Amino acid sequence: MTRNASNQHGGRRPGAGRKPGSGPYGEPTRPVRVPVSLVPTVRSWLTNVGRHRAQSFTRSPTVLPLPLYGSRIAAGFPSPADDHQEDSLDLNAHLVKHPAATFFVRVEGDSMTGAGIHHGDLLVVDRALEPKPGDIVVAVVDGELTVKRLEARDGRLWLMPENPDYPPLEIREGTEFLIWGVVAHAVRSF
Amino acid sequence: MTRNASNQHGGRRPGAGRKPGSGPYGEPTRPVRVPVSLVPTVRSWLTNVGRHRAQSFTRSPTVLPLPLYGSRIAAGFPSPADDHQEDSLDLNAHLVKHPAATFFVRVEGDSMTGAGIHHGDLLVVDRALEPKPGDIVVAVVDGELTVKRLEARDGRLWLMPENPDYPPLEIREGTEFLIWGVVAHAVRSF
DNA sequence: TTTTTGATTAATGTATCAGAAATCAAAAGC
DNA sequence: GCTTTTGATTTCTGATACATTAATCAAAAA
């Protein structure tokens, strides 16, 4: 006992003690093994979501954020300006090989649904690609723009639909036919 | 030494020993305190980050406006001065509404072909969008990453495939469920 | 050539611990 | 009487320790 007669502060308080649920999360915690590189992400999420318990459906958290830089880091933390990692993607760089020769076309109709091209899709068309049989091309036939698969049979060219409701289109002697480019990608929006 | 003369297996192997990075995450782990109720969520997330690599949107997106052409062209090859050019479009700006909250996932399987999402497609997933019934979402269910359409029926959540070969997935009382984000676009490459 | 096997090393889950944080209420100060 | 102080009490968290599991090695055995 270090208390003297002139100092009687403190002392037993039956029932004193920190109450359960008084921590930042309102409940106890358990240690979970987290890969070193993801520790900051998990901590940050726990700080922002775990405490506020923002939820959109039932009691489950909506989203656990993916790391902006999730690559395996040998040592240290990534620099915020460090973007040269396989985990980041630029759509232009990824989808446009020849910028000067690329354009977009919106799909109308459903003649190519078998190829996963649907009405309303946005096509990325590359004029720099050499059209060859099997390619899906954007072409003008008798003044009409169309999207079909290019085929070569018996020395003739055909534009093949990928939907049985549409007939194959033969490119004949007097047909006005022009290929605009090769379809590289189709973008579907929801 | 418990070995006898008729059993000489094993023994010293200089250089033997488990190699660094041989665990499921490819790197060491550290214990992080997680609220008890969030432990399953964090675990499932860690499991899937390690198994299904996702790519984040670049932090320094390029700007590349390219021509978007209309569907009706009378004749001739499109040129920059062509009257029929409707607009120009930059893929990054057009497809990514919330750069910091966007990531990409490659589709595996064909449970959503009815929605035009096919095996191998690249999904643009937006974490900033509030998931609501009818949205196509990327979700984790009992530790498995999946892409499905979110539905709400009778006070319950369902993850609906868009291919009759697959069963609907009901989110029940004990189901570990969390939504990673809402699918904004699907990119098909040829 | 393939499989076996003790030795070797990394990784993981759990236990433990020290210090921090929150709570209590009588004593002290005003 | 009201507010502040203060030692005791209890919970909580981050870090470390530890036991077990997992992965790797290569000579010996099959």
DSSP B119-171: TTPEEEEETTSPP-TT-EEEEEETTEEEEEEEEEETTEEEEE-SSTTS--EEE
C-alpha B80/C-alpha B88 separation (Å) is 10
Residues B190 and A185: beta-carbon distance below 8 Å: yes
Cα–Cα separations (whole angstroms), residue A25 to A55, B176, B177: 15, 20, 20
Answer whether any strand D atom is within 7 A of the Cβ of B7: yes
Question: What's the CATH superfamily of B36-58+100-187?
Answer: Umud Fragment, subunit A (2.10.109.10)
| Structure token digits, residue A3 | 């208390």
C-alpha A188/C-alpha A119 separation (Å) is 9
The catalytic residue among B56, B79, B111, B189 is B111
Our measurement of CA A25 to C1' C21, in angstroms, reads 13
Predicted ipTM of the assembly:
0.63
User: For residue B178, which phi and psi values (nearest 5 degrees)?
Assistant: -150, 150
Domain residue spans in chain A? Answer: 19-87, 93-187
Residue among B68, B27, B52, B17 nearest B143 (CA)? B52
Whether B111 is catalytic is yes
C-alpha A33/C-alpha A100 separation (Å) is 49
Our measurement of CA A52 to C1' D4, in angstroms, reads 33
Q: According to the per-residue pLDDT averaged within each range, which of A46-60, A131-145, B30-44 is highest?
A: A131-145
Reply yes or no on whether the pLDDT at A69 is more than 70.
no
Helix (H) or strand (E) holding A103: strand A102-106
C-alpha B111/C-alpha B94 separation (Å) is 27
Residues B54 and A66: beta-carbon distance below 8 Å: yes
B50 touches chain A (CB under 8 A): yes
Reply yes or no on whether the pLDDT at B184 is more than 70.
yes
Per residue in B54-74, pLDDT (tens digit) is 677 777 788 888 888 864 443
Per residue in A129-186, pLDDT (tens digit) is 999 999 999 998 887 889 999 999 888 899 999 999 999 998 888 888 889 899 999 9
Contacts of B30 in chain A (CB under 8 A): 33-34, 36, 39
Task: Give me the mean pLDDT over the B129-142 stretch.
Answer: 84
SS3 B100: helix
Q: Measured on CA atoms in the order A46, A48, A52, A53, is the torsion positive or negative? A: negative
Minimal C-alpha gap between A105 and chain B (Å): 5
Residue B61, C-beta contacts closer than 8 angstroms, at least 6 positions apart: A90, A91, A92, B92, B93, B96, B99
pLDDT of residue A31: 94
* Domain A93-187, CATH: 2.10.109.10
B81 touches chain A (CB under 8 A): no
Whether A148 is catalytic is yes
Higher per-residue confidence, B87 vs A148? A148
Our measurement of CA A5 to C1' C25, in angstroms, reads 19
Q: What is chain B's mean pLDDT, rounded?
A: 79
| Structure token digits, residue B66 | 């390219």
